[in-house]
């Protein structure tokens, strides 16, 4: 499971765009969004860097959470 920090994710629209970007990499990815902490958890087999790259392209730069 991968946890990403996405500081620019502030609303439901953002969460939808983030989910769409993640699922463009892996359509079967299970995505969990927490707007309060601005984090997303991803349960998928795809490479972590593919998700961060897709989010960057979508306008939501992300960093891997240390937790």
Q: Which of 20, 52, 61, 13 is nearest to 31 (CA)?
A: 20
- Give the confidence band of 67 by pLDDT, cuts at 50, 70, 90: low
Position 62 pLDDT exceeds 80:
yes
Q: For the domain that residue 16 is a member of, what is the CATH number? A: 3.30.70.100
Instruction: State the total domains in the chain.
Output: 1
pLDDT tens-digit map of 38-52: 999 999 988 899 999
pLDDT tens-digit map of 6-40: 999 999 999 999 999 999 999 999 999 999 999 99
Range of the domain at 43: 2-64
């Amino acid at each position: 499971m991968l946890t990403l920090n996405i500081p620019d994710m502030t609303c439901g629209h953002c969460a939808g765009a983030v989910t769409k970007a993640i699922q463009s990499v892996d359509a079967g990815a299970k995505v969990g969004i927490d707007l309060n902490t601005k984090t997303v958890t991803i349960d998928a087999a795809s490479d972590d860097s593919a998700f961060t790259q897709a989010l960057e392209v979508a306008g939501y730069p992300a960093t891997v959470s240390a937790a």
